[in-house]
Amino acid sequence: MISRALGFPSQTGPVGRVRTQEMNMARYQTAGFLTHVIHADFDKTYKVGETAPFSGIYRCTVCGCEAVSLGGNTLPPESHHKHAAGQGTTQWQIIVGAVHTTA
């Protein structure tokens, strides 16, 4: 079941049909907080246990599970979430990078 927190639809609730594609994407409310960029860093994938090069939201390229990691910390381990038999091992890809600014 998908959490109803933050406007996520529930598979059992009376919220109508939601395309599978929409259920597997990070969500946001205010578009002005995000900036669309095209950069090679978003195309790279990282193995479990590698150091996260950036702070942000990472997505498993196998199943779409998302996790937040801080730059310089270890990316989540294989035990973070389970894959069905034959799906393969977790690979992380950054989908939303955090920008740290100082005043």
Cβ-based neighbours of 103, under 8 Å, separated by 6 or more: none
The model's pLDDT over 57-70, given as tens digits with 9 standing for 90+, comes to 999 999 888 999 99
pLDDT band at 24 (very low <50, low <70, confident <90, very high): low
| Residue tagged 């933050």 (tokens) | 6
Q: Which of 3-7, 24-28, 58-62, 94-98 has the lowest mean pLDDT?
A: 3-7
Domain ranges within the chain, ordered by starting residue: 41-103
- What pTM value is reported for the model? 0.74
The model's pLDDT over 73-91, given as tens digits with 9 standing for 90+, comes to 999 988 888 888 888 889 9
